[in-house]
Amino acid sequence: MTDDASEAGGVPGKRSIRPLGGVLAAMAVSLTGTRISVVALPWFVLVTTGSATLTGLVAFFEMAPYVVVKALTGPLVDRIGPRAVSWTTDLASATAAAAVPLLHALDLLSFPLLLALVALIGAARGPGDLAKEVMVPEAAERGRVPLERATGLAGVTERLASTVGLAVGGSLVALLGPLTGLAVNACCFALGSVIIKLALPRGMGHAAEEVPSRAGVAEPGYWRRFGEGFAFLRGEPLLLTVFVMLGITNLLDAAFTTVLVPVWARESGNGPAAIGLLGSVMGAAAVGGSLIAAVVAHRLRRRVVFFAGFLLAGAPRFVVLALDAPMGAVVAVFAVGGFGAGFINPVLGAVLFERIPRRMLGRVKALGNSLAWAGIPLGGLTAGAAVAFAGLVPVLLACGAAYFLTTSLTGLRPEWREMDRPGGRGVRERPPEEHAQPVDGRLTA
């Protein structure tokens, strides 16, 4: 039998950063490409059509397939293995993203065809993102890294990708046009596919093992796996409440990112460079928050950190844009919000990985994430129609108020007390061989 550290690509008996480093590197490049697209695609639609409504429609056509396909592919990720799902879907995303600038250059890109291509990108991104997330706890165990630290580093990676991607996207769009940004997005997806396929240690990211079945009983099929994930999630009040709250905040974040900020940038005269600046400032501050969370989050009360992060990262962004504040004040608010946001995902990731059994991680996380992302397709669509009807400032103020009420009132529900109790049901249900090895006197999840 091969030692775990050896399988991880390191020296037997010693920690190796290769498993976690490979997953984080793949996440970094694919997320960087996505963030470049966050600037390039809405700006491309906005300047070519002049319509906030059509800009929101494009966002809907990308995110609706993302949510639906991600929800349905959870059992397949568990059965096929996250590694295979990740590199194949990243390759599909790269192909569809590259087709947009190519067809436009050939004068063949109609608006319906653009909608079809962004729908394909979204449909491929959903399972690709899920597969990378599912590999984080396995990589942490192989590298003998505490779970809060691993999820914190994943949060740092996400925030750093946002910082770099939005800054690069804003610069590319301002200097070379939005289609250049979409081409770079395609290259990032292709690189992510290569990293997952070739750079991860041998034997990592394969299908999760099911609980041994009785003799003569067939292995559970797709719909039974899907039903098991649904039943588990339904029996976890804390996880359900978290995902419903995130569904509302993600809807508002999608409206903010895909429509409200681009419209503000155009109406204020700041242009696409301002979109990249604000995104990179918030992302850089979030990197700092995530780094601190990776070091100290396991010593803090999770519930307090979680809701404090949302208080800083939510409503103030909407209000400062609505007030037409000076650019310095806007940058400061985004920086504070980013710092608070950096603490959210490490806490949330640790709670999810603790409570969900490893063999069901793909299907349960897919369902939960899809519930949390269910509002995102409607965010841009609703915001585009609302801005066309009522104007930018009233929509910004209404969204800010909704964000504050959602993240404040939800925290009063009693199930949130479970967040401060490490070792949820998911940990207790894991077979003994799935538990982590001791690290510095404590068990990782």
Neighbours of 103 (CB within 10 A): 15
Residues 9-35, mean pLDDT to the nearest whole number: 72
pLDDT tens for each residue of 380-427: 788 888 988 889 999 999 999 999 998 887 777 777 777 765 544 433
pLDDT tens column, 145-168: 766 677 777 777 877 787 788 778
pLDDT of residue 400: 92
In degrees, rounded to 5, the angle at the alpha carbon of residue 248 between the alpha carbons of residues 246 and 249 is: 65
pTM of the model: 0.61
Half-sphere exposure of 185 (CA within 13 A, CB side): 32
Does domain 16-207+221-436 match CATH 3.40.50.720?
Answer: no
Predicted local distance difference test score (pLDDT) of residue 434? 36
Q: At what angle do helices 392-409 and 237-255 cross, to 10 degrees?
A: 170
Domain-wise residue ranges, the chain:
16-207+221-436
In order of 40, 106, 186, the CA distances from 180 in angstroms are: 8, 15, 10
pLDDT at residue 36, as a whole number? 86
Say how far apart CA 61 and CA 178 lie, in whole Å: 18
Whether the pLDDT of residue 217 is over 60: the answer is: no
Is residue 438 scored above 70 in pLDDT?
no
- Side-chain half-sphere CA neighbours of 116 within 13 A: 7
CA–CA distance from 287 to each of 7, 137, 146, 210, 217 (Å)?
Answer: 31, 20, 19, 36, 49
Quick one: which H or E segment has residue 443?
strand 442-443
- CA-only gyration radius of the chain, Å: 21
Residue 442: pLDDT above 50?
no
> How many Å apart are CA 189 and CA 173, to the nearest integer?
19
Q: What pLDDT does 393 receive? A: 92
Please state, rounded to an integer, the average pLDDT across all residues of the chain: 77
Cα 373 to Cα 319, 325, 368, 384: the distances in Å are 23, 31, 9, 18
Q: Above pLDDT 70, what percent of the chain? A: 82
| Residue 179: predicted pLDDT | 85
